[in-house]
Amino acid sequence: MAMYTISFLEITPYITWSLIFWDYLITLDDEITFFWSSRRSWIKFLFFANRYIGLLLRVWDVIVMILGIIFGIPDPYLKSLIAQKDDILNHLCDKLISESIQAFQACLVCVDSGSVLYVSMQLLVIESILVLRIWAIMGKRRWVLWTFCGLLFCSTATSIVLSVHFFLFASFAWPYAIPTLLFEAIIFGSAAYHGIKASGGLRPLLLQSQGPFRSGPKPILLLVFQGSVLYFIAVLLSLPIMAFFDPRLGITTMSIAVSYMLLGLRKNVLSDPVGPSSQGVELRTLRFTANRALSSEEGEATMNTGSFP
């Protein structure tokens, strides 16, 4: 009897489904508490887009596999799960579209959750959250917003062009790796630099948790710094998976990481027993350091931490 060896690529769909569905279940209560009743904002819209686009795409993957089982396309014992899914989508588009190869390819882009269309959409949402976050950290200056929006546009456009030119329907997305890594590194470096600068150095920033806040919530400067570090580590782990194995697993990991970053920050601010002012003072310090030219009215406005991503 022949031995069947299971590769990492074959189990990535199961890992992806487990991650996203389990994460949704264990964080749904925090989502309801900290986002459902909050005021409307771009961060709130992007948070829900990040959560539910990925979730709906994973549900679609499950539906595709069920259709394959129902119609017997193909034998699940002969091919990996990803190969089965590709065959099912090819069969579906072949039945629906038969006029031209261009129409067939367009159909595949629309029905494949790992295509350039959906990976680009999810990356755009995730990185838009990061742009708004760094914009808030750096004092909500207009040039900062436009600069990082321009970088985001260049990164996304480069990724799409490379993907379309090289591997439009490949099961991996290495063209995303380089421009996305560069963009994420710039975002991380900017956030870390301003957090360290506002705290007077790396050591004072790390020692904040041992100060008067040690029995309460973490200082917001430390929380922002830690969130940036942990997210960037998640990116470094996700991009190789996206590039060489399964883009769905890589993008799901990044999506979960950015959701935790937003939930953790909002949960920490709103659960401060001292009141919003203790977190607001730190946030104002961070923004004032980034932009000493802010007027006194603008400085007081930053005391409201509800708008901080």
State pTM to two decimals: 0.75
pLDDT in tens, 88-102: 666 666 666 656 666
Answer whether residue 162 shows pLDDT above 70: yes
Q: Report d(CA 269, CA 152) in Å as an integer.
A: 28
Q: What is the pLDDT of residue 209?
A: 52
Show the tokens assigned to 243: 């590039």
**Residue 50 lies inside a defined structural domain of this protein:** yes
Residue 64, pLDDT > 60, answer: yes
Q: In angstroms, rounded to a whole number, what is the distance separating the alpha carbons of residues 167 and 190? A: 32
**Nearest by Cα to 257 from 176, 154, 151, 184:** 184
CA neighbor of 269 nearest in space, from 30, 55, 99, 104: 30
The answer to the question of residue 239 being in a domain is yes
141-180 in b/e burial notation, b at 16+ Cβ within 10 A?
eeebbebbeebbeebbebbbebbeeeeeeebbbbbbbebb
Looking at per-residue confidence, does 45 or 166 come out higher?
45
Query: Who's near 252: CB < 8 A, 6+ residues apart?
Result: 16, 19, 20, 54, 58
Residue 213 domain-assigned? yes
Phi and psi for 139 in degrees, rounded to 5? 95, 10
Q: How does residue 71 score in pLDDT terms, banded at 50, 70 and 90?
A: low
Sign of the Cα pseudo-torsion (289, 291, 296, 301, in order): negative
| Predicted local confidence at residue 198, as pLDDT | 66
Q: What is the mean pLDDT of the chain?
A: 73
The span from the CA of 137 to the CA of 195, in Å, is 8
The span from the CA of 233 to the CA of 211, in Å, is: 27
Q: Which structural domain, as residue segments, surrounds residue 135?
A: 10-31+38-307
**CB within 8 A of 11, min separation 6: which ones?**
none
CB neighbours (10 Å) of residue 210?
A: 8
234 falls within a domain: yes
Query: Residue holding tokens 């003072």?
Result: 281
Beta-carbon contacts of 80 under 8 Å, excluding residues fewer than 6 positions away, are 7, 9, 10
Residues 289, 198: contact at Cβ < 8 Å? yes
pLDDT tens digit sequence for 196-251:
776 666 665 555 555 544 444 456 666 777 778 888 888 888 888 887 788 888 89
- Indicate the SS3 state at residue 182: helix
Q: Provide the domain count of the chain.
A: 1
Residue 158 predicted with pLDDT over 50: yes
What is the C-alpha to C-alpha distance for residues 140 and 307, in angstroms, rounded to an integer?
11
Would 67 be classed as within a structural domain?
A: yes
* Domain-embedded: residue 159: yes
Token pair 């159909």 is found at 107
User: Does some domain include residue 4?
Assistant: no
* Percentage of residues in the chain having pLDDT higher than 90: 16
Let me know if residue 16 belongs to a domain. Answer: yes
For the chain, what is the radius of gyration of the CA atoms?
Answer: 22
Q: Is the peptide bond before 74 cis (omega within 30 degrees of 0)?
A: yes
As a whole number, mean pLDDT of residues 260-282 equals 61
Bigger pLDDT: 309 vs 80 = 309
